[in-house]
Structure 1
Amino acid sequence: MYKIRCLFYSSVILFLIAGCNQGQNKNDTGYPVSSGFILSESEIPDFEKDLDHRGLIEAWGDRQEESLRTGEHIYNNICFNCHGNHEQEGSLPTAFKFWKDTFKVGGDPFSMYQTLTRGYGSMPPQTNLTPVEKYDIIHYIRETFLKEKNPSQYIEIDSAYLASIPSGGTLGPAPKEFKPWAEMDYGNFLINTYELVGLDAAPRERSSGPSPLPDENYINANFAYKGIAVRLDKGEGGIAAGNAWMMFDHDLMRVAGAWTGEGFIDWEAILFNGRHNISPRTVGDLHFENKVEPGWANPKTGSFEDPRFIARDKRKFGPLPNDWAHYQGLYQYGDRVILSYTVGNAKVLETFGLESLDNSPIFTRTLNVSPSEMKLKMRVAPVGTAVSMVGDGAVLKEERGHWVLEVQPSLSAKVKLLIGKSGTKGLDLYAKRSAPPESLEPFTKGGAARYPQRLKTTILMGESEGPFQVDVMNPPFDSPWKNQFRLSGIDFFKDPNEGVVCTTDGDVWHVRGFIDKLGALSWQRIASGLFQPLGIKVINGSIFVTCRDQLVRLHDMNGDGETDFYESFNNDHQVTDHFHEFAMGLQTDKEGNFYYAKSARHARQALVPQHGTLIKVSKDGKNSEIIATGFRAANGVCINPDGTFIVTDQEGHWNPMNRINWVKKGGFYGNMFGYNPPADSTDSGMEQPLVWVERDRDQSPSELLWVESKKWGPLNGKLLNLSYGYGKVFVVPFEKIGDQVQGGVFELPIPRFSTGIMRGRFNPGDGQLYVCGLSAWGSTQPQLGGLYRIRATGKPMHIPVGIHVFKDGIELTFTDRLDAKSVQDLNNFTVKTWDLLRSRKYGSAHHNIQTLEVSKVVLDKDRKTVKLIIPNIQPTWVMEIKFDLKNEKGESVTGLIQNTIHRLGENSIL
């Protein structure tokens, strides 16, 4: 109901622990002055500056029960995901525990409110909560956790305290229900993982306890893991605004069920209402359903026995063998969806419909089946369901408790199945007057555009004076379809003025105007309804999209720019109901093969081989293979010039900190909760990362990319890392000693973006970097999504781009010349190191913290290379090198490199 984003990608100290100090300085608005806030004072809504904090807190007495009830609702439905309570640990073990932890800074109500409003450190600002809602959740936390279980952190509210906080003229806007995920027009289909249930469904089973969490008993649950939900009734607003739906499962080529009601689903999911460890359920009346078994019999044997992979919890996952049945994709024609698949060597086109008998819904399946060499059989519904048929080429039979459609060898079939709820009377008589089945081939040629509008936005040009300018290229947030624009991928066409972006809400947009001089963009929605797209690539004009269920190629059949056929280019990988197993990024190698990363389950052991892997798909889409394993939350892929890969991963169980991995084929990268991990769980049993990235630098690294632009001067050819967690960009200097790559990260001098940054591409037309991002799982940044251009201005950068470790020191190479006197002052450098402890626990504290002596510093003749002589240098998990120098003009050059040392060089630094 409320939009608080608890973080799961990396271990950060979350909700409220970085509140503002009660006693720190305040400006004339009453707000504490601190450089740690995410939002500046100018970014706070005007009503916040005249807010009656005293009155809002005093109102707790008059609305005690209502306030606690509202606060409990927010906490239990959203915040509990991460924080849990005193009886059950949340999904982030390192999240602040109100019932026992000590506030690091202010824990009084007013200070807690500032953290909620402006964000602080790793705590994102809660821009969609009203002041009343923020104080309600503070009230609930104080009375439920602090007062009884953590009294030392409970600050009494007395007249002196109330007199010390602002008493303004407004209570802010009234609270209102906010459900953007349920208001969006997704189009008339939406692919996701769904659980089909009836009106009297039992409560969900959700396991708890220490990690790894035990598997729930879902063996009898009706999950459509690759479910295509299709709206059947007429009307605007897309699938979420409908009243009747049918679900097709493209793993099993079955109709999972059909339902009616006033709501589509309950929206319980990480990318809808933010809930963890849950998949959306249908709501309403389930008229019929089919078990999680093949929809078509094996054409060679006539058997419906399921041959697929059996997971540890005894469920079966993945698609049927291709020679049995194969999903080819779906056509969109107006509001109609036509499925395309094969059974044996027969081609099948199928569409769904809705008719009425005595005011009761009758669901229809229209099938066009080409001749087959073998008899074909399809399960329609369990016996007891009302089923009838119109058309020729097939017959209905009862077989082992099911209505079965049977098509004889060498015959084509064109039939319409009529399906009603058990107890429906007169269906056979109604079938005689129902319209005959349609030929579906005409609907595969493309229809009128569903989204003909081209929306316009203005480019806001950057005006900073440094080495980089950032231009804001916001999407049309006021679109007629109420899109959230959580951008998750970007790429360009041959004409560099045009490109595509995808969103994790299922859209693809054709964007024009990237490099022309008009200062505006045109946005055309060309695809919708996809399953959590998180990567996109344009190859010879064709658009490919990484979705959680498949790799999709988009086809425009009639030249209007809009997608008419969503081709399932490859759907080999297995999908379970777990919220965390995203399919991330999309890249191609020189031979045209595709690569993306598949995340593992959170706090649980893997169920299927693809959990936590780097996956390769052949150029023709017919085959796939696992390249590397052991990832936890692998956010994207980078292909290196030498043909190796880089995959980032996030802090969590078996990941003591975020890691950037230089990936070798066949390598294992540390997550012992992955599928079939090695027996050796020690650190030596895994490949080591290029660098362990501390949460203070970046709580959630996303994709890396190589700079491919002469306009970026000394950074051309260097490696960049994008930050989903903090909305930053880092350069990644590295070296290779033996077969081990090691290096560090350094933040580019660019202000934080207002959204987490996921993907980036250099535009070959203007040579600048375009990045896009979103805030959906756990970025500290408040904006849902954004698109930006980063322009290198040609001004000096003073960025360390080279790092080399010797047996007695470390060498840093900067992009620009430095002042020799400042470099030679040992006080201008601080070098610290510490170790991490990798275990099944979430994250790691710092161990063996040391400050290393820098005995001498030498500036090389190029005046860019700095040699730090460190007598006690040793391999270390984490090193931080702080410097406070000057350039040759006497201007300040400060910064911090965070790096990892696996091996020392054999030579001396001097």
Structure 2
Amino acid sequence: MKPIRAVLALACGLVGLTQATGQTGGDGVDHALLIQKWDAQSLARGEKLYTAVCITCHGTPEKVGTLPTSRAFWKDAFKNGNDPFSLYKTIGQGTNQMPPQLWMTPEQRYDVVQFLRESFLKKYNPAQYFAVTPEYLASLPKATNGVFQKTAEMLDYERGPKYLRMDFGPAMFWTYQVETNNFAYKGIAIRVDKGPGGISKGRAWMMFDHDTMRWAAAWTGDKFIDWVGIALNGSHETHASIVGTKSFVNPVGPGWANPATGRFDDSRVIGVDKKPYGPLPRSWAHYKGLYRSGDDCVVSYTVGDAEVLESAGLETSSGVAVFSRTLDIGKSSHDLLARLSLETVPTFLVGQSGAKIIRENGMNLLQIPASSTPLKIKVILGDPGVGIDPGVVYGFAVSSQPATDLQSRIKLAAPHSQPIQTQGRMGTNNGAFAVDEITVPTEEQMPSRSWMRLGGFDFFKDGKSAAVCTWNGDVWLVKGINKTLGKLTWQRIASGLFQPLGLKIVNDKVYVACRDQIVRLQDFNGDGDADFLENFNNDHQVTEHFHEFAAGLQTDRDGNFYYAKCACHGRTAVVPQHGTVLKVSPDGLKTDIVAHGFRSMNGMFVDDDGTCIVTDQEGHWTPKNRINWVRPGKFYGNMWAYDHPESGADSEMEQPIVWIENKIDRSPGEMVRVPKGSWGALQGSLLNISYGMGQIFVVPYEKAGDSMQGGVVALPLPLFPTGIMRGRFHPKDRQLYTCGLFGWAGNRTADGGFFRVRGTGKPSYMPIEIHAKTNGVQLRFTDALDSTSAQDVKSYTVSTWAIKRSAKYGSSQTNKKTLNVKSARLVSDRKTVFLELPEIQPTQCMEIKISIRGADGVLIDRKIQNTIHSL
């Protein structure tokens, strides 16, 4: 069976996707025959599919899924029928938080249905086990057109996983498990056998850990890694592991002794689990970046005051392979000591130098006197294989070419990638807004076959070009951004980065927010391609947990950078950075925690005055999605984040601007403010870009004592095809640009996209102010309203409810009320309506449904969901 690609991890939710119908009947499918063909083989296929796709969110009787609100088949009743054909339709169409599995063939759907029936219903939930009779089979829809036609999604699935089709380049930054209890949290895996196709098509690799400056492992085989993980095959609670034959493995810890002490004692941050995390102190060792030099990769770092360049290599002879390390070490004021390998691994120096290999505490160590620096040196090492005399490694060392000049090599440019042309699509100007598409290249157009799930973007000073990053590690240069979008070019300028989900351009330099670092791209020869992936800051504390994304990248007017670091999912925090907003100094030398207690923030916004605003996602200790006005040093409610208060009382946390129900916005993304001179009366408004719904919301708010309170209301726009989540207003045309992706738990399932939202100048009739009064709510709209409908109390429905914050995932609605709208008054500006609500009280959740007309007679249907902390 083919591996399930990440986009198929869809069981984590889809609400209201009306365009996906799936196959139901009369479509060339003989439903009765597929059910009659059930046997042990189809049951096994169904189990594999459930384990690969459905188990992530639904779980099993023994283990709760990562989305506990998903249906537990072993105890819950079905809402849309429990017979096989009804379950088949549910899989194909999607319902509630279950998305349409359009990639599944009819046979695969019925395989899963059989597994659910036999493994869960029959044993644990017999009331839901439907008896299949001859009469039932005869009642099923007949295949009327004779031939079943596979969907585009089915055909795409048959091509294999997108992560295996993609060329990641020769190096891939990721978290890798090397062995049990041995992780390279900031691993840089480098392909050392030359050839096309990138790292996944290699047969030999070495891995550098830029937290510790150790070479964690070297290995060979016909498979690079196991390809599990949230951004690869979509699985939750998993992480990637290397596979194949390991030639050497080094234990967790510093790769170089502290030059000041000569000792390897690890002084990094100790997590709750008593393990060390994050980088070594800069005075000890510091990773500077990775050069893409021709077809090679060269790592740059420091040890004490010594500059070090290093490249990994492979040497083969008569079917035997060993690995090499080539080092160019600058002048050091201290003696240096490096860990090379376990003493059981054959390890030798090439040629003569002032350095030597010594054995100490079970390790082969490279000893370099300060007086011998600077020097160039080469090491040959690795287990040559079972049944092969380890002495052959010494033979390699004797015959190997001496250390190459890495100073010269890093002057070579990265391979140039050719631009790809696309044609933009202009939207219609029928309403207040038009949506244009900055069309991404198709897989067939890209030699890299990149998975175009866009995680962030920004514009260069000329306004005609932008840089865009993708979740699977690319950075693309996009040119031709103008009024008509007639001719766009896309050039891949970097690859292999660690799940970048934010990008910022400062002084025309591209900064990329990755899980392991903020990377600054350096192009030395002006061809657009990044020749040096410079580490601007890697203070990040990275664990193997799948959920700890580093999302968004913004700057304030003082030049500080900001990003959001997610907490763990379904478990307590391990490191101080879990569930925090982080601030990095303009020179990249310092990282501070701004605020803590968050769960899963998808990007962030920094206002002109330096105020940070972040969204957060429903989950444990987060009863619903929310938008947070960040106050430095404050706690924001997630008791499973790091450094939480003793009490879980609501009074101990900063309250959000608004709590948002899933049906309104199931997964908010990044915020952005409409700048002065843009979008008419909406200028100055705060916008929420929704990943979960593929929508954009206006966020009217007001100050309420020491807090902010407000709501969300959707802009009158068509739904985007993907989960948009980043937004910036263009510096020249003053329109909103947005990009996004689909990973899981979203309504809009296209891989990704890049769009422009243009204000047309036509009325939008948007509520842009909301004020909670002691006797009602005052709403101000962008445009004049019809006085008759605006003052008719039947035009409004107002309801409230409560939610409960607890360790339970999410919250149901309690204390539901419909408030009496005693009167509705349109004030003299004809844009402001006051709703008199005698029963109004502070509430976590209020919904105001509006159906009125504009002054020009246009019907206006709006729905506001808001929070009131005080009146």
TM-score of the alignment, normalized to the shorter chain, above 0.5: yes
1:435 aligned partner, one-letter code: Q
The match for 1:548 among 504, 512, 515 is 515
- Describe the superposition over 1:688-714 as per-residue Cα deviations: whole angstroms up to 9, x where unpaired: 000001101111101000012534111
**Could you tell me which residue of structure 1 aligns to residue 687 of structure 2?**
720
Match of 1:211 in 2: none
**Structure 2 residue corresponding to 1:455, chosen from 386, 410, 420:** 420
Q: Which residue number in structure 2 is paired with residue 180 of structure 1?
A: 162
TM-score, normalised via structure 1 length: 0.91
Q: 2:409: which partner in 1?
A: 443
- Give the SS at the match of 1:59: helix
Q: Would you say 1:405 and 2:366 are equivalent positions?
A: yes
Distance 1:826 1:752, change over 3 A: same
Work out the CA distance in 1 between the residues paired with 2:676 and 2:431: 18
1:371 to 1:629, Cα distance in 2 relative to 1, 3 A: same
Over residues 544-584 of structure 1, what are the superposed CA-to-partner deviations in whole Å (9 max), with x where a residue is unaligned? 00000001100001111100001100111210010010001
Cα 1:176–1:5 change in 2 (3 A) is closer
Of 81, 85, 89, the match for 2:56 = 81
1:665 Cα deviation from its structure 2 partner:
0.5
The residue number in structure 2 matching 1:368 is: 328
CA contact (8 A) 1:613 1:631 kept: yes
Residues 322-379 of structure 1, C-alpha deviation per residue, up to 9 Å, x if partnerless?
A: 1000000110012211000000000000001100144211100000001211100001
- Partner of 1:71 in structure 2? 46
Alignment check: 8 A CA contact 2:9 2:234 kept: no
> After the TM superposition, which of the residue ranges 427-436 and 856-865 deviates more from structure 2?
427-436
The answer on whether the counterparts of 2:31 and 2:85 sit within 8 Å (CA) in structure 1 is no
**Aligned mates of 1:56, 1:435 — CA distance in 2:** 67
Residue 474 of structure 1 aligns with an amino acid whose one-letter code is T
3-state SS of 2:349 partner: strand
2:698 to 710, 731, 735: 731
Distance 1:6 1:87 in 2: 23
- Give the equivalent residue in structure 2 for 1:91: 66
Q: Provide the residue aligned with 1:380 in structure 2.
A: 340
**Residue 293 of structure 1 aligns with which residue?**
253
Q: Does 1:52 align with 2:2?
A: no
Contact kept, 8 Å, 2:25 with 2:143, in 1: the verdict is no
In structure 1, C-alpha distance between the alignment counterparts of 2:113 and 2:691, rounded to whole Å: 28
d(CA) in 2 for partners of 1:123, 1:818: 40
1:741 aligns with 2:741: no
Offset at residue 862 of structure 1 (A) = 1.0
- C-alpha displacement of 1:749: 1.1
Deviation for aligned residue 1:121: 4.4
Q: Which residue of 2 aligns with 1:482?
A: 449
SS at match of 2:547: coil
Percent sequence identity is 48
Alpha-carbon distance in structure 1 between the residues aligned to 2:225 and 2:485: 43
Call closer, same or farther: CA 1:460–1:122 in 2, change over 3 Å: farther
**Does structure 1 retain, via aligned residues, the 8 Å contact 2:556–2:607?**
no
Shift of 1:444: 2.0
Report matched runs for 1:115-194 at 5 Å. 115-158=90-133, 159-160=135-136, 162-168=138-144, 169-173=146-150, 176=158, 178-194=160-176
1:419-456 C-alpha deviation (Å, 9 max, x unpaired): 120652232233222111011011222425342x1111
Aligned to 1:203: none
Change (3 A) 1:250 1:436: same
Contact 1:728–1:750 (CA under 8 A) maintained in structure 2: yes
For 1:93 and 1:727, the matched residues in 2 are separated by 23
1:330 equivalent to 2:290? Answer yes
Distance of 1:623 and 1:767 partners within structure 2: 33
- Please give the secondary structure, in 2, of the residue aligned with 1:426: helix
CA deviation after TM superposition for structure 1 residue 3, in Å? 4.2
2:617 alignment partner in structure 1: 650
Q: Aligned partners of 2:116, 2:571: CA distance in 1, in Å? A: 28
Shift of 1:621: 0.5
Equivalence for 2:197? 237
Q: Deviations over 1:33-80 (max 9, x none)?
A: xxx443256xx7xx8886234x14422322422222111101112211
Note the C-alpha offset of 1:791.
Answer: 1.1
Tell me the CA shift for residue 869 of structure 1: 0.5
Q: Secondary structure at the match of 1:302?
A: coil
Which residue of 766, 783, 787 corresponds with 1:799? 766
Residue-by-residue CA offset, 1:138-158 (whole Å, 9 max, x unaligned):
232233223343333334444
Q: TM-score, normalised by structure 2?
A: 0.95
Q: Aligned to 2:72, what secondary structure does the other structure show? A: coil
Relative distance call for 1:886 and 1:688 in structure 2 (3 A) is same
2: CA distance, partners of 1:264 / 1:85: 30
**1:642-696 Cα deviation digits (max 9, x unpaired):** 3211011000000000110000011110000011211121000000000001101
1:2 alignment counterpart? 4
1:473-872 superposed matches below 5 A: 473-478=438-443, 479-517=446-484, 519-708=486-675, 710-872=677-839
2:378 to 416, 419, 431: 416
Distance in 2, Cα, partners of 1:66 & 1:14 = 29
Structure-2 separation of matches of 1:182 and 1:79: 21
RMSD: 1.9
Change in Cα spacing, 1:521 to 1:115, as seen in structure 2 (3 Å) is farther
Match of 2:745, SS state, is coil
Distance 1:894 1:641 in 2: 32
Q: 5 Å matches for 1:196-207?
A: 196-197=178-179
- 2: CA distance, partners of 1:793 / 1:118: 35
For structure 2, list consecutive stretches of 5 or more residues without a partner in the other structure.
Answer: none
Tell me what 1:206 maps to: none
Aligned partners of 2:761, 2:98: CA distance in 1, in Å? 35
Q: Distance in 2 between matches of 1:518 and 1:601?
A: 41
What SS does the aligned partner of 1:323 have? coil
Query: What residue in structure 2 maps to residue 39 of structure 1?
Result: 19
The 2-side partners of 1:292 and 1:448 are apart by: 31
Distance 1:137 1:898, change over 3 A: same
Distance 1:75 1:863, change over 3 A: same
| Cα deviation 1:81-116 (Å, max 9, x = unaligned) | 111112221111111111121223344444433443
Whether 1:253 and 2:213 are equivalent positions in the alignment is: yes
Gaps of 5+ in 1: 19-35, 198-219, 905-910
Shift, 1:7, TM fit: 7.5
How far did residue 601 of structure 1 move?
Answer: 0.5
**CA offsets 1:797-826 (integer angstroms, 9 cap, x no match):** 111111000011000111111111112221
Is the Cα–Cα contact under 8 Å of residues 46 and 111 in structure 2 kept in the other structure?
yes
Inter-CA distance 153–113: structure 2 relative to 1 (3 Å threshold): same
SS in 1 for 2:396: helix
CA distance in 2, matches of 1:714, 1:192: 45
CA-CA distance at 1:160 after TM superposition: 4.5
One-letter amino acid matched to 1:689: P
Deviates more, 1:888-897 or 1:168-177: 168-177
Question: What letter corresponds to residue 282 of structure 2 in structure 1?
Answer: N
* 1:875-894 equivalence runs, <5 A: 875-894=842-861
The structure-2 alpha-carbon separation of the partners of 1:897 and 1:595, relative to structure 1 and needing over 3 Å to count, comes to same
Out of 276, 279, 292, which is 2:236 matched to?
A: 276
Of stretches 608-617 and 778-787 in structure 1, the one that deviates more from structure 2 is 778-787
What is the SS of the residue equivalent to 2:240?
coil
